[in-house]
A and B are shown apart, each in its own frame.
Chain A
Amino acid sequence: MTDTQTQTAPWHQVVLETLKRNDVRLVPYVPDRVFTPLIKALHEDSFFTTFPCTREEEAIGIVTGAWMGGMRAAVLMQTSGFGTIPNAIASLVCPSQIPAVIFVSERGTLGEFNLGQAMVCRTMRPVLDALGIETHTITRHDELAFIVDRSIKQAVATQAPVTFILSPLLTGGKVFAA
């Protein structure tokens, strides 16, 4: 895409094109409402192998195997899903130096209606900080392509995972009837 196209394309198209540009072909996910247009677009593009997993941990294992087999991969999940994977990240991804690319659809903030989501959201950044994982909370459309593109390249070059937390400020988040 040209810079102008990137500025006008919806966020999920920018993510898809950036994954493609970086040869990230495998995208296992656990579904999320906000990520639905991205997931749909990935399924419709034959460049990608994408499928749902039963748990986020499972997707982390698949991404790890794929990397070791020579295929770049990203995983999509929701905030609560991130809450289920610290052991897999701490005992597999980090010590094995796997450049897992993790996209998290951020729930639990900016208008959350589910207390459980709000609570689990508070565990996410401390866990990422404790493990020293490169993390970007993306709020602005004009920074999206740059951050994702550069950070995937960094993940591969430094053999380290990266997490992108896609804020409701970028995606619109999940809206509920008050």
Chain B
Amino acid sequence: MTQTPAPGAHNAKVMNRFELTKRAVAQLKAEEAVVAGIGNTNFDLWMSGQRPQNFYMLGSMGLAIPIALGVAIAQPQRHVVALEGDGSLLMQLGCLATVAMLKPKNLTMVVWDNGMYQITGGQPTASAAVADIVAVARGCGLANSAWAADEDDFDRLFAAALKDGGPTLIAARIDDKPGTGTTDRDPVQIRQRFMVGLGVRK
């Protein structure tokens, strides 16, 4: 089906998740943590290069932002980025209210909105037609929430977010291209590498 953009996103360009993921990762210069949600969000982060500070969530759909919030609380000196899909976020919208209440300066949330549950067969999400992710985030109290108008705007929003002025939410309309690869499936190895990357383990 053709995606009809949510009201606030009608001027936003439809971009590509892998391209934007690479652009985001290219800006990470201070060993920022990145927590990516289940499915293609994860896969494109994996394919962008396997930083030790990346955590790839293999199950628990919807928990990328809560996991990132936990990291942000534990390590307030480190910036933490959550990458999440629209379907996953719709499953756990309440976490936006919790983040807004706690106001972690070091947390950035990026939402890839393709308006579909892509990995299960492309069924439409509520954000395909009616739910505006940025409006929801603002309604939860996340004032620093915006749609990325195009790639350059995404770069600018992401760079500003990394300056610890958060919490920040950036939503991007993306196309229906599938993920570009798949992660390894070893949760213990993923968790251990992440803890080493965060300096918690040697």
- Chain A interfacial positions (CB closer than 8 Å to B): 26, 49, 51-55, 57-71, 73, 87-88, 90-92, 95-98
Whether B58 pairs with A73 at a CB distance below 8 angstroms is: no
Decide: A58 near B60, CB < 8 A? Known: A65-B35, A66-B71, A69-B198.
no
Size band of the B side of the interface?
Answer: 35 or more
Most buried by B among A53, A67, A69, A73: A69
Q: Within the assembled complex, what's the spacing in Å between the Cα atoms of A97 and B191?
A: 8
Given known pairs A65-B66, A88-B60, the reply for A53 and B187 (CB within 8 Å) is no
Interface of B, secondary structure class, is helix
Give the tally of cross-chain contacts (CB within 8 A): 123
Given A68-B191, A96-B187, residue A58 in contact with residue B198 (CB < 8 A): no
Give me 16 A-to-B residue pairs in the complex whose CB atoms sit less than 8 angstroms apart, sorted by A's number: A26-B70, A26-B73, A51-B98, A53-B94, A57-B66, A60-B66, A61-B60, A65-B35, A65-B71, A65-B74, A66-B71, A67-B70, A69-B200, A73-B70, A87-B61, A96-B187
For residue B178, give the distance in angstroms from its CB to the closest CB of chain A: 22
Contact string against A for B residues 179-202, beta-carbon threshold 8 Å, 1 for contact and 0 otherwise: 000000001101100110011100
Which chain A residues lie closer than 8 Å to B74 at the CB level? 26, 65-71
In the assembled complex, how far is the CB of residue A58 from the closest CB belonging to chain B, in whole angstroms? 5
